[in-house]
Amino acid sequence: RRAAGSTRVVPTNKELLRNAASTLSGPPGNRVPILIHGGTLIDGTGADAIANPGVLIHGDQIKAVGPAAEQQASQLTQVTRVDATGKTVMPGLIDAHCHVTFAEPASNDELFFHRPSEGLAALVAGHGVQKVLRAGCTGFL
């Protein structure tokens, strides 16, 4: 959908997830800035949550938070706006202990003794990584 001017409006649903790869791909300097607005911000510092702040992201950096984010976004020729109303905005989560190749075994025997190939483990890992991402973890060690 297009709003007035050159602002692109992206709803917060499955379509946003499908569009995220294209919005975030490429070198950081070539990415379209993203303004997340309308949600509740938890910044990860222990401070109280902030209702309805703007968060302006360009490349791999948070450029502004709060009224300054909206102001800076209004001066850009192109920005992707994400309406986070009713949602929580927070830093990505990291799973510090994750076994993406385990899938959902019924027993230790099934897990450790019935893996016929490394190729199968790679396919299971691809599925496992998607599950971790859908759970909200944006990285793992």
| 72-83 pLDDT per residue, tens | 999 999 999 999
- How much is the pLDDT for 98? 77
Q: Which of 50, 48, 46 is nearest to 69 (CA)?
A: 50
C-alpha–C-alpha distance, residues 45 and 42, integer Å: 8
- How much is the pLDDT for 10? 44
Coil/strand/helix, residue 53: coil
* Helix, strand, coil content of the chain in percent (nearest 5): 30, 25, 45
- How much is the pLDDT for 44? 84
Q: Tokens representing 21?
A: 């790869």
> Which residues have C-beta within 8 Å of that of residue 69, sequence separation ≥ 6?
35, 37, 53, 54, 55, 56, 63
- Cβ contact 91:44 at 8 Å: yes
- How much is the pLDDT for 18? 46
- How much is the pLDDT for 25? 54
Residue ranges in the chain modelled with pLDDT below 70? 1-30, 113-116, 140-141
Its pTM stands at: 0.56
- How much is the pLDDT for 71? 96
- How much is the pLDDT for 121? 78
| Strand 40-41 relative to strand 88-89, pairing | parallel
